[in-house]
Amino acid sequence: MSAAADIRIRLSGPAAPGGLVEVTTLALAPPLADPAAEFDADGLPVPHYVGFEAEFDGRPLWRAVLGPGVSRQVMLVFSFRPDRPGPLTLRWRRRDGGVETRQVSVPAG
């Protein structure tokens, strides 16, 4: 099992009627005990994170499949129009099968 990642989340502001909320998230992968584990048998980089999902109040917002061109320190930015305040859940899927989940509240505007 991997050490927990440092995952940062920033919201542009509160949920306002008709307004956009921009979400910036940064996942800083923990260092590997064996740096050679970052490469496959052909010498190609193996991504630490292979997927990302975002949900607002239990409803899917955004999903991404990440490939070998993605850095170990991944930043994603997306926007959505929340119709009310509620919980925003972000899930980062690691290559070892683990999941890093974080939740923040989108406040009322």
CATH number at residue 55: 2.60.40.10
Q: What is the pLDDT of residue 1?
A: 46
> Domain containing 99: what range?
6-31+46-106
- Asked if residue 51 is part of any domain, the answer here is yes
- Asked if residue 40 is part of any domain, the answer here is no
Find out whether 76 and 25 touch, Cβ atoms under 8 Å.
Answer: yes
Burial class (CB in 10 A: 0-12, 13-18, 19+), 104: middle
Residue 3 has pLDDT above 70, yes or no: no
- Asked if residue 1 is part of any domain, the answer here is no
Residue 31 has pLDDT above 70, yes or no: yes
Residue 28 has pLDDT above 70, yes or no: yes
- Asked if residue 99 is part of any domain, the answer here is yes
- Asked if residue 55 is part of any domain, the answer here is yes
Q: Give the number of domains in the chain.
A: 1
- Asked if residue 12 is part of any domain, the answer here is yes
The vertex-35 CA angle with 28 and 63, nearest 5°, equals: 40
